[in-house]
Structure 1
Amino acid sequence: MTTGDVTMTTTQRRRPELAAFLRSRRARVTPADVGMAPGLRRRTPGLRREEVAQLSGVGVTWYTWLEQGRPINASSQVLDAVARTLRLEPPEREHLYRLAEVPFDPGPQPPAQRIRPEVQCVLDALDPHPAAVYNARYDVLATNAAFRDLFQLPRMSEDSVPNALWTLFTLSPDACPVVHRERELPVMVATLRSHYGRHVGEPAWEDFIRTLSAASPYFAELWASGEVIPPGPRVKTFRRLSGEELRTTVVSLSIDGMPECRIVAYTPERENPAP
């Protein structure tokens, strides 16, 4: 099967799902929910198609075709209007976008500043391997004992959480726990920039970039380079306070309900077994 065949098959499967989803969401919204009188002889549970179209500011024919799963194009603005009329929750709105094959952007999310107890339990269970929770800005939201033994993370200020980038760029090169500093720090800055695109103009992000650039000319130089890479598994070597080196495989795991946050686990690198 060619790529084109797969794409066509996927679209053909999504359209009936889209139709069924819209019908089910329409059926649960009553006229009273949207400030309309119930009227007489209402046989349709929930809203009628023409009512959804009117409330969403779209043509009745267009909405009917959308709900019938016909191959028509929909813009994000129109889907947002339909989602508001049908009172869709955020996960339902994202599902609508996926079924309509329209790129979904949830918009900027405020950086998380705390974690749930069960996430801390996962970190503690990973001990004696270092593990921590980072948000997109490299704020360190939680750690386990092994991580705290490996890293000393001072706060930028009394009312802030520790930040890994702030620590690594403001320490002297000799005190930096990352062994290959000249190789690893550019990667971290390029990863930061990959997240920054969703937060351009937000005061917390702009203040962080400006403050760290003033505190570290090296960070300012790397930031000005404009490099962008996505996060991914890596091998990193750290230096313990005792001077012993620890070579680790770094893996990031997303956390349900915490957008742009991840558990980062550092496990000893295993040599490839002999064939």
Structure 2
Amino acid sequence: MDASLRRELGAHLRAARAQVTPEDVGLSAGPRRRAPGLRREEVAALAGVSVAWYTWLEQGRVGTSRQVIDAVCRTLRMDDDARRHALALAGFLPGTPLAAGERAAPGAATRALLAGLATTPALALDERLDILTANAPYRALWGDPALLPAARRNLLLHLVTGPPGPYRVTDEEPLLRGLYQHFRTATAHAPDDPRAAEIVRLLHRERPEAAHWWDCRTVADFRPVTVTAGPRRLTFSLLRPVGDPGVLLLTQT
């Protein structure tokens, strides 16, 4: 487990700790607290580890056992997505195929599948949600992402800044939150990836009023979301073609 992943795991634990109240775990709130959530010593006691060890874990200074990670996740009331993310960061589950600087590419079969979806807008994406290719129904509805500058050829940026096509998503928050949580889940496994950092910087610049989204450390696999776009109701779904590691298919049915 390298140092950058240990730091990412520590940040994940700190963010989760801030969301748990003493009452959630059967403790008295006691005197006024300077920060939200549980104290480190409370997490350590409930998880059955020393305060020093848990502090080092949050600081990214040590690795640890599967047993300790499981105990901490239970104490912090993590949901299944957050727990799997913690275990993957700690090296106990297979992580995302994303590596810093790595670029995925859809194979011929995936491109043929996209082209064959004659009435369903669809994209091929990498784990950063960068757009690799779009089919004809997608281009007709949203405009051609290939015409965008390379730095902006990303699904999150495409939606945040308004696609060049005739329609806009009018109830965008659940969609953007879900996609960003998926982005965080994937890119946290390559915390030094320059492209992921560039996407976050551009999101902050384009939608500064949504900084609380871009700063949020919540992780989750994307679940289908239905939105309104002009006269249509579209359900966004993400699929993984087995033969193309690191490639995602976004369909809009």
Q: TM-score, normalised by structure 2?
A: 0.54
Give 1:266's aligned amino acid: Q
Which residue number in structure 2 is paired with residue 230 of structure 1? 221
Which residue number in structure 1 is paired with residue 238 of structure 2? 252
Structure with the bigger RCO (C-alpha within 8 Å, sep 6+) is 2
Query: Does the C-alpha gap of structure 1 residues 232 and 111 become closer, same or farther in structure 2, counting only changes over 3 Å?
Result: farther
Deviations 1:22-66 (A, max 9, x none): xxxxxxxxxxxxxxxxxxxxxxxxxxxxxxxxxxxxxxxxxxxxx
Question: How far apart in 2 are the matches of 1:112 and 1:137?
Answer: 10
Which residue number in structure 2 is paired with residue 185 of structure 1? 176
Question: How far apart in 1 are the matches of 2:140 and 2:239?
Answer: 22
Q: TM-score, normalised by structure 1?
A: 0.50
Map 1:86-165 onto structure 2 (within 5 A): 103-105=93-95, 108-109=98-99, 110-152=101-143, 154=145, 158-160=149-151, 162-165=153-156
Give 2:245's aligned amino acid: P
Query: Does the C-alpha gap of structure 1 residues 198 and 125 become closer, same or farther in structure 2, counting only changes over 3 Å?
Result: same
Instruction: State the shift of 1:259 in Å.
Output: 2.7
Give 1:212's aligned amino acid: L
Query: Does the C-alpha gap of structure 1 residues 113 and 177 become closer, same or farther in structure 2, counting only changes over 3 Å?
Result: farther
Deviations 1:103-141 (A, max 9, x none): 444764354353222211101111111111111221111
CA contact (8 A) 2:139 2:145 kept: no
Give 2:234's aligned amino acid: T
Q: CA RMSD in A?
A: 3.0
Query: Does the C-alpha gap of structure 1 residues 163 and 176 become closer, same or farther in structure 2, counting only changes over 3 Å?
Result: farther
Query: Is there any run of 5+ residues in structure 1 with no aligned partner, and where?
Result: 1-74, 76-101, 240-244, 268-275
CA contact (8 A) 1:252 1:263 kept: yes
CA contact (8 A) 2:98 2:246 kept: no
Query: Does the C-alpha gap of structure 1 residues 119 and 155 become closer, same or farther in structure 2, counting only changes over 3 Å?
Result: closer
Query: Does the C-alpha gap of structure 1 residues 232 and 182 become closer, same or farther in structure 2, counting only changes over 3 Å?
Result: closer
Size of the aligned set, in residue pairs, is: 161
Structure showing greater radius of gyration is 1
Match of 2:200 among 202, 209, 216: 209
The yes-or-no answer on 1:169 pairing with 2:160 is yes
Structure 1 residues 197-206 or 214-223, which shifts more?
214-223
Question: How far apart in 2 are the matches of 1:128 and 1:258?
Answer: 23
Instruction: State the shift of 1:249 in Å.
Output: 2.9
Query: Does the C-alpha gap of structure 1 residues 136 and 156 become closer, same or farther in structure 2, counting only changes over 3 Å?
Result: farther
Instruction: State the shift of 1:166 in Å.
Output: 1.1
The yes-or-no answer on 1:266 pairing with 2:225 is no
Give 1:252's aligned amino acid: L
Question: How far apart in 1 are the matches of 2:147 and 2:211?
Answer: 17
Which residue number in structure 2 is paired with residue 197 of structure 1? 188
Give 1:182's aligned amino acid: E
Instruction: State the shift of 1:217 in Å.
Output: 0.6
Query: Is there any run of 5+ residues in structure 2 with no aligned partner, and where?
Result: 1-64, 66-91
CA contact (8 A) 1:169 1:219 kept: no
Give 1:167's aligned amino acid: H
SS at match of 1:221: helix
Question: How far apart in 1 are the matches of 2:216 and 2:201?
Answer: 15
